[in-house]
Amino acid sequence: MATKNKELEIFTFDQIKDEFIGEIGTERRVQYEQELQLEVMGEMIRKVRLERNLTQEELGRLIGVQRAQISKLENNTTNVTMETILKVFGALKAKVNFNVEIMNSKIQIA
């Protein structure tokens, strides 16, 4: 019995996202990227909070919200305002930087 040697085709992650989610700039791809960024931010909040040895309740008290709101932020289950994000990272003594990309131009706000 003879076997054929098939080459394994390799795809980049961007190629897979283009194929299954949509190309960069499409509404579905933009929504995916935004949700991913919020998920990453939630993980960052959780990681820094734990490094600072704070409970969700303690962090909530520092910024004037309930523990449930911190849980929602960490698990990306709520819409969040920039004010809340800045309060959270301020309470965690973490520096926040934003990058805004507009029409192929990159603007940094530090």
CB 80 within 8 A of CB 73: yes
Going by pLDDT thresholds of 50, 70 and 90, the confidence category of residue 59 is: very high
Q: What is the pLDDT of residue 70?
A: 93
Identify the burial level of 102 via C-beta atoms within 10 angstroms of its C-beta, where 0-12 means exposed, 13-18 middle and 19 or more buried: exposed
Show the domains of the chain with their CATH numbers.
13-109 (1.10.260.40)
Mean pLDDT for the stretch of residues 29-47? 87
Q: Is the pLDDT of residue 9 over 80?
A: yes
- The closest alpha carbon to 74, from 46, 93, 35, 33, belongs to 46
For the chain, the average pLDDT equals 84
Q: Which of 10-14, 89-93, 106-110: highest mean pLDDT?
A: 89-93
Q: Is the pLDDT of residue 103 over 70?
A: no
Q: Is the pLDDT of residue 51 over 70?
A: yes
Tens digits of residue pLDDT in 68-82: 999 988 988 777 788
Q: What is the pLDDT of residue 67?
A: 93
- The closest alpha carbon to 78, from 65, 68, 92, belongs to 68
